Amino acid sequence: MKLRKTFVSISHNIRNKEQICLIIYLPVLVMAQTSLNSETEALTLRKLILNARKPFVLRNFKMNWKYFEQSLEEWCLNYDKATNSLTEFEVMPCNEGNQSPHWERNRKSKRMTLSQFLEKQKLATADKCWIGLNYQRLNNLPAALNEGIDFSRLGFSEVTDECNYWLCSKQTNTPCHYDTYGCNIVVQVFGRKSWLLFPPKTPLTCTRIPYEESSIYCEENFFAPNIEEVQQLSKFHSSAYRCILNAKDVLIVPKHWWHYVEAMDVSLSINYWIPLENDREEQLQECIVKILIERFVKSSNREERNYILNPNQEDEIKDDSEIFEILKYLHENSKDSGPKVKARRLNVSSCPYQYLDELECENLIKDLPEGMVEYLAPMAKGDYEALLNKNAQRFKLIRTNSELHQLNDIKNSLINSVCAPTVIEQIKKEFFKRYQS
């Protein structure tokens, strides 16, 4: 699951205002020992990524990451040698208790080495559960393994904390959601992953339970849909985009696109969320959601609290003085609130987004090698329905539902109604009308 720690970093900035500065990215790519053609190509790709209206793939694209020129087995062995300790993986049964999406609250944990993880995938029982090392910060890798991993080949030489790696077994999946912040670059290093994507306005059933800052989930279970879900989801056939991401492929996911991701093999991928200028308004809206969610949580018992909050949010509850100071800070730095003082801007390098029209983007593609950029197209209706029906076969194998609903229906409905994206948007607009900082 994606946890961006935005409120933690903002709160730190507020407490250290004298240290806040804006990191300005100069659109000049400095690449040692590269040709002008490579620099121009990287800058062109940067523009295409920042102006993407729909997902696209760069097939067999060389990122020039030397530590991934070895095999996955060698990489895992080197990881084990460098850490000299067991690593905590998430474990999820695939044939029981899965009548809802594979929410993080239902997963167990198991400690093992990465080499032991690979060995488990060779066993006949491997399909009974999936094992994943999900959403791990790249800068937490041993130094010997993350040196030289950057996105300069795509025009992003800036270094941020938004790079992550994902090592997982077949069937490991991320419940369908969209990210409120940033544009996503995904590099498939080893193995394959299936990406099912939908445009931002697709009417999937939004939910803020489980609550995770910057992730808006949907209630539909794409891993193992029941009959009713298959019938409902089949209506979106004209909006469904699918990409099988192979090793060395790069996928660009534009802002707010829904996506359900499932590993087809043992898989290792690395992603980077590009901070965008218009993320600031999203941060303010997420701050409003956080305030509302915390009001519900504070009046809830432990079982309800564990049901409402994603596990990675349990330690992120803030007191009133801090969370309202963050809201004030975001208001002062939003583009709707007038001129900004440089010293109060967020301490990030944010990029302009969708500043070129589609015709200009088409002209940019002409400057790149033929076939480099592959825009995804909607799935054929038959292919989409076949995928849904194939996944629905898993539902028939589910023996029990191990998750007890810890929240009564009226409270569940009220939380999702109050925190619905359209409602939060209206609250933000009303807040701007009423509050002048």
Residue written as token pair 């409902």: 232
Q: Name which of 254, 123, 130 is nearest 185 in CA terms.
A: 254
Q: How many CB atoms lie within 10 A of CB 67?
A: 16
Residue written as token pair 């939003």: 334
- In the chain, the largest separation of any two C-alpha atoms, in whole Å, equals 63
Q: Which two tokens stand for residue 129?
A: 């559960």
Cα dihedral: 287, 332, 181, 293 (round 10): 0
pLDDT by 10s per residue, the chain, length 437: 444 556 666 766 665 544 433 333 434 444 434 444 889 999 999 999 999 999 999 999 999 999 899 999 999 999 999 999 999 999 999 988 778 999 999 999 999 999 999 999 999 999 999 999 999 999 889 888 888 899 999 999 886 667 999 999 999 999 999 999 999 999 999 999 999 999 999 999 999 999 999 999 999 999 999 999 999 999 999 999 999 999 999 999 999 999 999 999 999 999 999 999 999 899 999 999 999 999 999 889 999 999 999 999 988 777 888 999 999 999 988 754 443 333 333 445 789 999 999 999 999 999 999 999 999 999 999 999 999 999 999 998 887 665 666 788 999 999 999 999 999 999 999 999 999 86
Alpha-carbon gap, residue 314 to 346, rounded angstroms = 25
Alpha-carbon gap, residue 26 to 136, rounded angstroms = 29
Q: Which two tokens stand for residue 370?
A: 């033929």
Q: Name which of 285, 274, 268, 231 is nearest 252 in CA terms.
A: 274
Alpha-carbon gap, residue 235 to 228, rounded angstroms = 12
Kindly report the three-state secondary structure assignment for every residue of 80-123.
Answer: HHHHCCCEEEEEEECCCCCCCCCCHHHCEEEEECHHHHHHHCCC
Alpha-carbon gap, residue 198 to 258, rounded angstroms = 5
Please provide the CATH number assigned to the domain covering 6-434. Answer: 2.60.120.650
Q: How many CB atoms lie within 10 A of CB 303?
A: 11
Q: Are 38 and 31 in contact (CB under 8 A)?
A: yes
Alpha-carbon gap, residue 272 to 349, rounded angstroms = 14
Could you tell me the strand order of the sheet in which 129-137 lies?
108-112, 87-93, 129-137, 163-168, 267-274, 183-190, 250-253, 56-58, 373-375
Give backbone dihedrals phi and psi of 211, rounded to 5 degrees, phi first. -85, 125
Question: What burial class does residue 319 get, using C-beta atoms within 10 Å of its C-beta: 0-12 exposed, 13-18 middle, 19+ buried?
Answer: exposed
Alpha-carbon gap, residue 173 to 125, rounded angstroms = 18
**Residue 210: cis peptide before it, omega within 30 degrees of 0:** yes
Q: Which residues share a beta bridge with 206?
A: 218
Q: Alpha carbon 251 to chain centroid distance?
A: 13
Alpha-carbon gap, residue 28 to 157, rounded angstroms = 10
Residue environment code for 151-177, b if the CB has 16+ CB neighbours within 10 A, otherwise e: bbbbbbbbebebbbbbbbbbbbbbbbb
Q: Residue 345: its pLDDT value, please?
A: 35
**What H or E segment, with its residue span, contains residue 286?**
helix 279-298
Q: Name which of 92, 403, 142, 68 is nearest 262 in CA terms.
A: 92
Q: Name which of 137, 144, 105 is nearest 308 in CA terms.
A: 105
Q: Residue 422: its pLDDT value, please?
A: 97
Q: Residue 159: its pLDDT value, please?
A: 65
Q: Are 190 and 270 in contact (CB under 8 A)?
A: no
Question: What burial class does residue 339 get, using C-beta atoms within 10 Å of its C-beta: 0-12 exposed, 13-18 middle, 19+ buried?
Answer: exposed
Q: How many CB atoms lie within 10 A of CB 10?
A: 23
* Sequence spans of domains, the chain: 6-434
Q: Residue 243: its pLDDT value, please?
A: 97
